[in-house]
Chain A
Amino acid sequence: MEQLKQLLLGPELEQLKKLEAALQELDFQSQDQETIVRRITPLFERILLERLENKDAKTVEILSQHLAKIIAHSSRHNLPELSQALQSVIAPAISKEIAANQNVMVDALYPIMGSMISKYVSTAIKEMIESINEKIEDGLSFEKFKRKIKSKITGVSETELLLEESSDALISSLFIIEKESGILIAEAQLEDKEISDPHMVASMASAIKDFINDWIQNATEKSEVQILSYGNATLYIESAGSVYLVAFLDAEPDHEQRSGINEFFASIVKKYASFFQRFNGDDSAEEIAELSEKMHTYLNAQPNVGKGKKEKEGKNPMKLFFWSATLLAAGYLAYLLNGWYFEYSLEKMVEAKTGQVVHVERGKEKLTVTGYADSFKSLNEVEALIRSQSRMPVNNHLLVPLKQIDKAIEKYSAESKGPAEELEQKVRRVEKDLNASLMQLQTELASVREELQRSQKSIAEMRKTMSGELAQLKSEKKSIKRIIKIKREIASKLAQHLGDNPFYRKDDLSLDFRGLNLFTAGEALYNREAIERIGRVFKIYLSVLSEYKEYIEEIVILGHSDSSGKRKENLKLSQLRADAVKEYLLGQAEIGHGQADLKMVSKGMGSRELVRVNGVEDKEASRRIQIKFVFKENEIVKQIQKIVND
């Protein structure tokens, strides 16, 4: 049986064994983690990439939770590699941001970059100074020894003394200018060196700078003009973001001076960057006054400001002072001696002539007399005597005994009682009058104020009304313009289609069917041939108007009669004629269809508008039909004309 089985199913059994062995192997692999990892790893990157590309929410959520941790970990353990990895992402992003918002980025970076550059330049200068020092050590001259001694005394290095001797160029003006518009934002100038029209100069400087930059700029390197020189005048230009600084100097600035200007400029940009960004040309901003003040302070702090002037003024100052002081002292002494002698001689003379002992003192402008007089009489005598000796005013401070004063008062009161009362009454009357006038004035003032308030109110109301009317007028003006334009177009088209037609009137764009013998006298029945002709012309007229139906209020058929008969009857007859023509025209299929959106009205005019030839009525021509059209906004035109005429 086994042999038979082997003979019949030998190959299949062999395959079954292999299959079983393979299954066992697979089972082992699916349980072995290492094998699983080895198998899946090549596929993992693909799976992750696919999920990220599809923005799979779960994957993004998981990654974002761990991203910060990964970066923090990498920065602690493998910073160089992390930097390299991020550099490729951040560098293009920064480049893109700078390209998009160049001025904003430069404004932000300039204060930092500017001071870095300044430091670099300062270091370079320091090195240069050291090298010069070495060379100076080798030199031999009288000036060198003089400088050497000065250096030892003051503690300032010889090179600095050398640089000081050559001194900085003088900055006479400083401008801060908006880069793109060339509009001057702030300026400061030294006295006596002002530029007459700084705003024009700023614009011109900007144009020249732009011209040179455009001219020399190439695609690879972006640089800007920094120095413009003409004769002794030099413009030093430093740019930063949205603004640039122009310094006007009397010579080209050296590195140190440029560095100083740049540092000052950097401090300005740092403080006012946001103001520069929002500057709109208005010079009343507080920041501008503050900035100008800073710039003035900077200009006036220059060591060489007013140097020439000071030197000129400083020639032999001590000598001049000494002589002036000596002369002044001598003059004063002479004045004192002269005064003393004058006072003494006056006192002696008074004593000799009046017997009164007084003291006289000469002041700058007057003589003062002090002491005692026996009586008022003596007091007046002394004063008269002194006045006769000098042109100066006299201050009489002489004292008289009390007894004498009482006597004088009694005498004066007796003499002046009557007039004093009268005077008092007068004063009271005047005071009363004044008070009354004041009250009246106040009342008038109050009424003037009220009047003024009323006037202001009515002016405000008028202004309001006027502005409303003005707005209405403006809108109506627009409508008129539109009507005129449309009217022109219609006129042009009507002229094109009916220009040669004898019934078409170019002046008012109407049809006037005179001379057609449409009606016989006293009748409203029309002539068949004539009405058909009217129908043909009207069809063309209507076809043009239909194109502008949204602008047309209505088409008016006007019936006219001749002057025969009574006015009332003529009016009725003309209305019947207009109605008849309207009915006929509406009965025409093409016309009826064409005017579907256009309102057609008939109106009898009676014998108001007769046709006259050489002053005589042509009755046949008077019996006629006119066809016109009315614009939708004709009413506005009429109103405007009325306003204009008023």
Chain B
Amino acid sequence: MIRKKILLLGDFNVGKTSLIRRYIDNTFDDRYLTTIGVKISKKILELHGLECELLIWDVEGATPRKSIASSYMKGASGAIFVCDVGRSETMESLDEHIKTFLALNPNAHYVIAYNKSDLLSVQQKEALELSGNTFLTSAKNASNVEILFTTLAKEMLL
């Protein structure tokens, strides 16, 4: 079995923990979730006969007063950058998160989650221009959560 460390990064309260809970437990807790420090979960998946275990580090969201600890980021093979489609400032700070992450892990892969898409209308969704590694996700209705993680796993392993 191959094990890989992946990170969930993004601003505070963009729904990182909810995405993991949806992916791992397939449940969603509607309460306001606050991430403290780092929470580690794992998920075993099979890709084309290759068994893989993702060790998912849910890192505390960055705030204007506090940045993410770089030691948590080191040694990661991949990352999921999460932003809240309802908060434009979280989308704008994605580039900075990606830059910091890639500076520490130049060979790592990443995908982007435009989370809380359940709050958008169909027209708003269509108006968003998404590149190949970006997904409109919703932890609330499980939209694109599975494919988000699987795409990253494929990028890292295949």
* Residues of A in contact with B (beta carbons under 8 Å apart): 178-184, 197, 199-200, 203-204, 207, 210-211, 213-214, 280-284
Does A199 contact B55, Cβ atoms closer than 8 Å? yes
B24 in the interface, Cβ–Cβ < 8 Å? no
Does A211 contact B69, Cβ atoms closer than 8 Å? yes
With the chains together, A181 CA to B76 CA distance in Å?
6
Does A213 contact B3, Cβ atoms closer than 8 Å? no
Contacts A182-B5, A281-B4, A284-B1 given; does A207 touch B72 at CB 8 Å: yes
Does A214 contact B3, Cβ atoms closer than 8 Å? no
Which listed segment binds A: B36-44, B109-117, B134-142? B36-44
With the chains together, A203 CA to B76 CA distance in Å?
12
B75 in the interface, Cβ–Cβ < 8 Å? yes
Total A-B Cβ pairs within 8 A: 61
Residues of A contacting B: mostly: mixed
With the chains together, A283 CA to B3 CA distance in Å?
8
Does A281 contact B3, Cβ atoms closer than 8 Å? yes
Q: Kindly report which residue of chain B lies nearest to residue A284, judged by CB atoms.
A: B1
Contacts A181-B74, A211-B37 given; does A203 touch B55 at CB 8 Å: yes
State which of B2, B74, B75 has its C-beta within 8 Å of the C-beta of A282. Answer: B2
Q: Kindly report which residue of chain A lies nearest to residue B40, judged by CB atoms.
A: A203
Does B75 contact A179, Cβ atoms closer than 8 Å? yes
A-B pairs with the 8 shortest C-beta distances? A180-B75, A181-B75, A210-B71, A180-B74, A181-B5, A281-B3, A203-B40, A282-B2
Q: How far is the CB of A187 from chain B (nearest CB, A)?
A: 13
Q: Kindly report which residue of chain B lies nearest to residue A184, judged by CB atoms.
A: B3
Q: How far is the CB of A236 from chain B (nearest CB, A)?
A: 20
CB contact list, B1-46 vs A, under 8 A: 1-5, 37-38, 40, 42
Interface residues on B, range: 10 to 19
Does B77 contact A204, Cβ atoms closer than 8 Å? no
Does A183 contact B5, Cβ atoms closer than 8 Å? yes
Q: How far is the CB of A356 from chain B (nearest CB, A)?
A: 76
Q: How far is the CB of B124 from chain A (nearest CB, A)?
A: 15
Q: How far is the CB of B132 from chain A (nearest CB, A)?
A: 10
CB contact list, B75-108 vs A, under 8 A: 75-77
With the chains together, A210 CA to B3 CA distance in Å?
20
Does A200 contact B57, Cβ atoms closer than 8 Å? no
Contacts A180-B75, A181-B74, A181-B75 given; does A280 touch B5 at CB 8 Å: no
Does B3 contact A204, Cβ atoms closer than 8 Å? no
Q: How far is the CB of B61 from chain A (nearest CB, A)?
A: 16
Does A199 contact B42, Cβ atoms closer than 8 Å? yes
Q: Kindly report which residue of chain A lies nearest to residue B69, judged by CB atoms.
A: A214
B118 in the interface, Cβ–Cβ < 8 Å? no
Q: How far is the CB of B157 from chain A (nearest CB, A)?
A: 9
Q: CB-CB contacts of B43-78 with A at 8 A, as 1s and 0s?
A: 000000000010101000000000001011011110
Q: How far is the CB of A489 from chain B (nearest CB, A)?
A: 11
Instruction: Provide 21 A-B residue pairs closer than 8 Å at the C-beta atoms, listed in order of the A residue.
Output: A180-B75, A181-B55, A181-B74, A182-B5, A182-B55, A182-B75, A183-B4, A183-B5, A199-B55, A200-B42, A203-B5, A203-B42, A203-B57, A207-B40, A207-B72, A210-B71, A214-B69, A281-B2, A281-B3, A281-B5, A284-B1
Contacts A203-B57, A207-B40, A284-B1 given; does A214 touch B75 at CB 8 Å: no
Does B3 contact A183, Cβ atoms closer than 8 Å? yes
User: Most chain-A Cβ atoms within 10 A of its Cβ — which of B5, B53, B71?
Assistant: B71
Does B74 contact A214, Cβ atoms closer than 8 Å? no
Does B2 contact A280, Cβ atoms closer than 8 Å? yes
With the chains together, A282 CA to B156 CA distance in Å?
13
Q: How far is the CB of A177 from chain B (nearest CB, A)?
A: 10
Q: Kindly report which residue of chain A lies nearest to residue B71, judged by CB atoms.
A: A210
Q: Kindly report which residue of chain A lies nearest to residue B52, judged by CB atoms.
A: A281
Q: How far is the CB of A616 from chain B (nearest CB, A)?
A: 38
Q: Kindly report which residue of chain A lies nearest to residue B6, judged by CB atoms.
A: A181
A182 cross-chain contacts in B, Cβ below 8 A: 5, 55, 75
Q: Kindly report which residue of chain A lies nearest to residue B157, judged by CB atoms.
A: A281
Q: How far is the CB of A241 from chain B (nearest CB, A)?
A: 13
Contacts A183-B5, A214-B71 given; does A281 touch B77 at CB 8 Å: yes
State which of B5, B42, B72, B77 has its C-beta within 8 Å of the C-beta of A210. Answer: B72
State which of A197, A200, A210 has its C-beta within 8 Å of the C-beta of B69. Answer: A210
B74 cross-chain contacts in A, Cβ below 8 A: 180-181
With the chains together, A183 CA to B74 CA distance in Å?
12
A204 cross-chain contacts in B, Cβ below 8 A: 40
Q: How far is the CB of A526 from chain B (nearest CB, A)?
A: 41
Q: How far is the CB of A519 from chain B (nearest CB, A)?
A: 41
Q: Kindly report which residue of chain A lies nearest to residue B53, judged by CB atoms.
A: A199
Does A213 contact B40, Cβ atoms closer than 8 Å? no
Q: How far is the CB of A210 from chain B (nearest CB, A)?
A: 4
B40 cross-chain contacts in A, Cβ below 8 A: 200, 203-204, 207
Q: Kindly report which residue of chain A lies nearest to residue B1, judged by CB atoms.
A: A283
Contacts A199-B42, A203-B57, A281-B77 given; does A213 touch B1 at CB 8 Å: no
A207 cross-chain contacts in B, Cβ below 8 A: 37-38, 40, 57, 72
B5 cross-chain contacts in A, Cβ below 8 A: 181-183, 203, 281
User: Most chain-A Cβ atoms within 10 A of its Cβ — which of B55, B69, B72?
Assistant: B55
Q: How far is the CB of A104 from chain B (nearest CB, A)?
A: 15
With the chains together, A480 CA to B2 CA distance in Å?
37
User: Most chain-B Cβ atoms within 10 A of its Cβ — which of A180, A181, A183?
Assistant: A181
With the chains together, A178 CA to B55 CA distance in Å?
13
With the chains together, A282 CA to B72 CA distance in Å?
21
Contacts A207-B38, A211-B37 given; does A199 touch B3 at CB 8 Å: yes
Q: Kindly report which residue of chain A lies nearest to residue B56, judged by CB atoms.
A: A203
Q: Kindly report which residue of chain B lies nearest to residue A485, judged by CB atoms.
A: B129
Q: How far is the CB of B86 from chain A (nearest CB, A)?
A: 24
User: Most chain-B Cβ atoms within 10 A of its Cβ — which of A178, A199, A203, A284?
Assistant: A203
User: Most chain-B Cβ atoms within 10 A of its Cβ — which of A182, A280, A283?
Assistant: A182
With the chains together, A181 CA to B77 CA distance in Å?
8
State which of A183, A200, A283 has its C-beta within 8 Å of the C-beta of B75. Answer: A183
With the chains together, A207 CA to B53 CA distance in Å?
18
